[in-house]
Amino acid sequence: MRIFIAILAVLLLTGLPAGALAQEPLEGIVYGQVINGTEGGGSVGGVAISLITYIDGLLSDTRTAVADSEGIFQFDSINMEHTYLVSARYMDVDYYYPVVFEPDETTAYIEVGVCDTTASDEKIRVGLTRRIINIEEESLLLTEVYWLVNDGDRTYVGTDGVLFFRLPQGAYCFEAPEEMMVDYRLLDDNRVAYLVAFPPGERQLFYSYRLARTDSNELDIAMVINYPTDILELMVEDDGVEVAVSRLAPVEPVVTDTGERYLYFQGQNLSRDEVINVRLSNLSGSGGFPLYILWIIIAVVVAGIAVYVIRRTRKAGTDE
């Protein structure tokens, strides 16, 4: 034992690299520049920058710096075994960017894009939305999936909320994925406000709610178009129900990967505040629709929307 202690003392005193005893984590550098994407914006100085550290998926530490007059910032001695986000707060809006180290590189450059803000939603539109109706024994479960687009060069912050969605009369039991519920606020006038600022680009949202069934086994639903919409698709669970709908044309029914069959309707170039009237007749009902299956369907729908938007974007570029 004394021999081991003596050898260890000699190693420490002679400054033998620590790697001879234990492997030191590889250190890197994170640096970048804050750029204002609004027309005429340029680089932005004096912005507070945070480097957020996650270890095994859990928030561990946050380091802060202030960008110089050219918007440049840097963090040294970064443990490359961990996961990082760079955050910048500009005009009371938080922007987040993941840190990615390229293979065999110990430095990572992050261009932090920020924008001026606006309270006008004139540049907000819906590229594609799907509204899904599932028939249950005592109620109808409606799900709305949106692919939203901010075509401007400013971050839309709104007033008393950012995005607003009007639900049909009598809607109740509003629900979104658990991690997103904090981003919504229910209002008294049958509306739902989404509270997160919307930078230029795209955003996907989805939520569900219920409508009570009537004794007559018929139900009229007035669906309001919240924002100018390129394409709206309505899917109604095919449980023997009869569907009459305004402004939308019937399309070939679809069957999901989980085996559910849906009647399918589609409309294009819908104006804001336009109303789609849906009449459901011969509602036979079923034993309920498991929510986990619904989220599977939504995941498939979102993936399908993503493919559609990518193809549409590529086609637009080709046409130009």
**Amino acid at the residue 248:** L
Final residue belonging to a domain, choices 115, 132, 167: 115
Strands 107-114 and 27-36, how do they pair? parallel
Number of domains in the chain: 2
pLDDT at residue number 289: 46
pLDDT at residue number 8: 40
pTM equals: 0.78
Final residue belonging to a domain, choices 82, 115, 148: 115
Strands 191-194 and 163-166, how do they pair? antiparallel
pLDDT tens-digit series, residues 195-232: 999 999 999 999 999 999 988 889 999 999 999 999 99
pLDDT at residue number 294: 52
For residue 17, tell me if it sits in a domain: no
Residues 60 and 108 in one domain: yes
pLDDT at residue number 14: 46
Q: Which residues pair with 276 in a beta bridge?
A: 223
Q: 142: how many CB neighbours lie within 10 A of its CB?
A: 21
Full domain range(s) for residue 108: 25-115
Residues 97 and 142 in one domain: no
Residues 138 and 279 in one domain: yes
Q: Which residues pair with 193 in a beta bridge?
A: 164, 185
For residue 77, tell me if it sits in a domain: yes
Residues 157 and 61 in one domain: no
Q: 20: how many CB neighbours lie within 10 A of its CB?
A: 8
Instruction: Give the CATH number, domain containing residue 195.
Output: 2.60.40
Phi and psi dihedrals of 293, rounded to 5?
-70, -40
What are the DSSP calls for 286-318, one per residue? -S---HHHHHHHHHHHHHHHHHHHHHHHHHHHH
Residues 139 and 100 in one domain: no
Final residue belonging to a domain, choices 82, 98, 115: 115
For residue 222, tell me if it sits in a domain: yes
For residue 12, tell me if it sits in a domain: no
Residues 182 and 140 in one domain: yes
For residue 107, tell me if it sits in a domain: yes
**Amino acid at the residue 137:** E
Q: What is the mean pLDDT of each run of 10 residues along the chain (320 residues)?
A: 40 45 76 95 90 93 95 95 95 95 94 96 97 92 97 93 95 94 93 96 96 90 97 94 96 91 97 97 64 52 51 46
Residues 234 and 135 in one domain: yes
